[in-house]
Structure 1
Amino acid sequence: MPRRSRKGPQAKDAAMLPLPHGLGVVLGAGVTKTSATIEKSPFSNLPSIADSQPTVDSIANAHPLPIPQTSFTPEVPVEAIATTAVTSEEAGVKKIQTPSLFRLETASVNTPISGGRQLRPRNPKVNVQKSLAQDTLSFSVTKLQHADRQDSKSTTLKRKAQTEGISDAGNQDILEPKTKRAKRIARKTKDNPYGLTPGVSPFPTWVPPTAEQCEEVFDLLRKTHNTVLTQSPEVIPPPSLEVTGCGEVPSLLDGLLRTYLSTAVSMDSSNKMLQNVAAKFGVLNGGIGNGSVDWNNVRLHKTEVLYDAIRKGGLATEKSKNIKTILDMVYEENVERRKAYLEERKTGVHANVFAAAEKTDGQKDFEVQAVEQNVLSLEHLRGLPSDDVMKHLTKYPGIGVKTSACVILFCLQIPCFAVDTHVHRFARWLGWVPEKTNADDTFSHLDVRCPDQFKYGLHQLFIQHGKLCGKCKANTVEGTKDWAVLDECPLENLIRRFGKRQSKPKGGQEKKKQEEKIKEEEEDDEN
């Protein structure tokens, strides 16, 4: 069925639009199914571009196609090849024959002419060839642009060099790039896992505490707690099998492990653990470890046996594994040192072990005898600077800065400001360290700022005051009725209790959380 044709003035106006030169469209009659006859003009009689116009006899039944309104101007001479439209009349009906496309070609005359239905004009295929002069000009422009960029870069680098004070000897066009800045070395390393700064404060610009401030606090607390021992004893007392203590025993290894047992648990719990260990593994008789636990016997047993002895004290799984590892490490060190000293006796070559150069012949003989008597020992650390002892002790698993500092202060009797929960709290409240400082940095700062004569006494006084002072204890709440009847604190005018609970807790869940927190802080206070 033939398609309906558009009639009326719109069809006439659309069909009468002029075609641009060099373009053509194919118009289909759409009236009959009779194939159109295409008659091609001879090539010799082809019209020019200006004269070539499609001839249409009838436009009433034609289907107009969209024709672009913009003109097209080819950049190079092209040749238009067209066919003429032929009309004929049969039985009084006009038929429009299909003309071929007006095509823009760059081909020769022998190019075959194609005809057919075309919906839209094709883009002309134009091959533009650049001349040698154009190529030369383009290359020259590119070269000049590259030179300009290089000059601009050179000028920028020179200005930067002048600003930063870099000499520009030789008038170089482009300076060599600056080397990268060295990376910041972290304080915590494999050899220094706690980030300690021996002899240097981690807060160089933080002046407190001065010697006068330390003396003022020392005097105020000593008047309040006059029964506290504020100076190291001349002779270390024999070890107790009832009280763990803070490492104030003759044997260095015994003091280290006693202090480790007391960490993160209450004093009653640590005392029970020590009593069970002594009952299970026995006590040494004779030597520097006389009356202390036979730690070599602990080493010879399995970890499960040690776990059963201390499991009621708390943290038994972790502590039993670490104690076994420490004892094995100490045993290997003792055997290695004995072997090195015996080799020194034979060859005369000095033993190449830690701190061997500082030892006398009698001290070396003592170490050899201790291994032969199955006694574990760390006595070779005596006489060394506190920084070297701290570095050596903290290599053992579970032994931190606080435990090592306690051993140095109480067992080796070397001035060292050990920082526990109470010392850390008062140091921040007094403004001796920044508020958000951790315990390890507090130790490093106080150990540098505080005079040696106050380190032992302030450590003991802070612990005693933290346990007894009602307003400074962890389980009291500021602003309550009980707070008003508490005794006055001797440090009231010097401290600022930030972080202290200000009012009585309310509500079930909140009250339960506060009670749990108070219980944990009370356990820390007992240490």
Structure 2
Amino acid sequence: MEKKRKRKQHVARETKAKAKAVRVGPTRSDNVKDPFPSHTRPTPQECETLRDTLLALHGIPPDLAKYRKLQPTSDTAQPDPPEPVLDGLVRTVLSQNTTEANSQKAFATLKSSFPTWGHVLGADSKDVEDAIRCGGLAPTKASCIKNLLRCLRERRGELCLEYLRDLSVDQVKAELSLFKGIGPKTVACVLMFNLQQDDFPVDTHIFEIAKTIGWVPAIADRNKSYLHLNQRIPNELKFDLNCLLYTHGKLCRKCSGKKGNNQGKKCNDNPCPLLNHDKESVEL
């Protein structure tokens, strides 16, 4: 009788441990706190409405749509293999403080100039700088990339980040934060695009729009906006809404206070739909 009782207790403990290991719901850490808990915007309904509005106006750009989560399908055709995580991280580093066209050209030149990441690591810094010069800040970015590769080789023994696919959001952030020059926005981009985690990067465009439409308080900086929006925006809307706000920010100068560019004629000749989302004053 005593043996049966002990066996039941042992099975119960094992079952409880297994259940605890399975993450249910959002992947965001429960320890992350909203810096503006009394700022109740955006609401889930606002997020959905704005997503639908911008989706009708812009659609998801093809170069971003390829990163959408693959849905189960009965088709026999195999999907294209995902972009290597290391490629995605370097691509994101090259996108800092430059245009999308220039960063894409810099990445393409880097990949065509060096057959493998091992060749990049072994190359002279000047040669790496020359390959990515069109993306701007070549010395800084080349140093960051070579440091990343060197640290990765020392820590893991290989130039590969695919192991990140098996880690939680918090674990990925802890891993990537070990590399000098890899900041929160870069990590968030890798999480959302390459690891298909529910995260919401906040770049300059999204930050300015969020302030303009009152989704974050006027006193918010980009880091606090990132923490707040990740708490408020439903996980299932994060990818689409992020891509759409980023696209809209590049095209429309009315909602962000920016001059915009020639691509924004469609938006700049018409009232901005985002400005219909009235601001709410919030006492913090």
Q: Does 1:297 align with 2:102?
A: no
Cα distance between partner residues in 1 of 2:253 and 2:202: 21
Q: Does 1:234 align with 2:102?
A: no
Structure 1 gap ranges (5+): 1-195, 239-248, 283-293, 336-370, 477-481, 497-527
- The aligned counterpart of 1:487 is 270
Structure 1 residues 299-354: Cα deviation after superposition (integer angstroms, max 9, x where no partner): 1122222122222321011111111111000001122xxxxxxxxxxxxxxxxxxx
Measure how far apart 1:223 and its partner are: 2.0
Measure how far apart 1:450 and its partner are: 0.9
Alignment partner for residue 112 of structure 2, among 279, 299, 304?
279
Structure 1 residues 222-256: Cα deviation after superposition (integer angstroms, max 9, x where no partner): 22223544982418745xxxxxxxxxx52111110
Shift of the 309–197 alpha-carbon distance from structure 1 to 2, 3 Å rule, reads farther
Q: Does 1:456 align with 2:239?
A: yes
Cα distance between partner residues in 2 of 1:424 and 1:206: 16
Q: Is the 8 A contact 2:60 2:244 kept in 1?
A: no
Cα distance between partner residues in 1 of 2:127 and 2:206: 35
Measure how far apart 1:414 and its partner are: 0.6
Measure how far apart 1:296 and its partner are: 1.4
Alignment partner for residue 201 of structure 1, among 34, 40, 55?
34
Q: How does 1:127-206 map to 2 (within 5 A)?
A: 199-206=32-39
Structure 1 residues 52-99: Cα deviation after superposition (integer angstroms, max 9, x where no partner): xxxxxxxxxxxxxxxxxxxxxxxxxxxxxxxxxxxxxxxxxxxxxxxx
Matched AA of 2:213? L
Q: How does 1:50-89 map to 2 (within 5 A)?
A: none
Q: Does 1:210 align with 2:43?
A: yes
Shift of the 312–251 alpha-carbon distance from structure 1 to 2, 3 Å rule, reads same
Cα distance between partner residues in 1 of 2:70 and 2:160: 22
Cα distance between partner residues in 2 of 1:230 and 1:306: 28
SS of residue paired to 1:311: helix
Measure how far apart 1:269 and its partner are: 1.8
Q: Is the 8 A contact 1:471 1:486 kept in 2?
A: no
Shift of the 487–203 alpha-carbon distance from structure 1 to 2, 3 Å rule, reads same
Measure how far apart 1:407 and its partner are: 0.5
Shift of the 255–304 alpha-carbon distance from structure 1 to 2, 3 Å rule, reads same
Q: Is the 8 A contact 2:212 2:255 kept in 1?
A: no
Cα distance between partner residues in 2 of 1:237 and 1:436: 43
From the two aligned structures, give the one with the greater helix fraction: 2
Alignment partner for residue 226 of structure 2, among 443, 457, 463?
443
SS of residue paired to 1:382: helix
Measure how far apart 1:272 and its partner are: 2.4
Matched AA of 1:397? K
- The aligned counterpart of 1:173 is none
Q: How many residues align?
A: 234
Q: How does 1:325-364 map to 2 (within 5 A)?
A: 325-335=147-157
Alignment partner for residue 88 of structure 2, among 255, 259, 282?
255
- The aligned counterpart of 1:99 is none
Measure how far apart 1:197 and its partner are: 9.3
Cα distance between partner residues in 1 of 2:224 and 2:60: 30
SS of residue paired to 2:209: helix
User: What percent identity do the matched residue pairs reach?
Assistant: 36
> TM-score, normalised on structure 2?
0.75
Structure 2 gap ranges (5+): 1-28, 72-78, 280-284
Structure 1 residues 451-479: Cα deviation after superposition (integer angstroms, max 9, x where no partner): 10110011011012122235336116xxx
Matched AA of 1:412? L
Structure 1 residues 113-162: Cα deviation after superposition (integer angstroms, max 9, x where no partner): xxxxxxxxxxxxxxxxxxxxxxxxxxxxxxxxxxxxxxxxxxxxxxxxxx
Q: Is the 8 A contact 1:298 1:306 kept in 2?
A: yes
Structure ID, larger Rg: 1
- The aligned counterpart of 2:134 is 312
Q: Does 1:402 align with 2:185?
A: yes
Cα distance between partner residues in 2 of 1:266 and 1:416: 23
Matched AA of 1:405? A
Shift of the 457–280 alpha-carbon distance from structure 1 to 2, 3 Å rule, reads same
Q: Is the 8 A contact 1:260 1:403 kept in 2?
A: yes
Q: CA RMSD in A?
A: 2.5
- The aligned counterpart of 2:15 is none
- The aligned counterpart of 1:354 is none
Q: Extract structure 1 runs of 4+ deviating beyond 4 A.
A: 227-231, 235-238
Q: Is the 8 A contact 1:428 1:435 kept in 2?
A: yes
- The aligned counterpart of 1:467 is 250
Cα distance between partner residues in 1 of 2:80 and 2:213: 33
Shift of the 400–198 alpha-carbon distance from structure 1 to 2, 3 Å rule, reads farther
Matched AA of 2:271? E
Matched AA of 2:202? V
Q: Is the 8 A contact 1:470 1:486 kept in 2?
A: no
Alignment partner for residue 206 of structure 2, among 423, 433, 440?
423
Q: Is the 8 A contact 2:188 2:200 kept in 1?
A: yes
Q: Is the 8 A contact 1:255 1:407 kept in 2?
A: yes
SS of residue paired to 1:257: helix
- The aligned counterpart of 1:22 is none
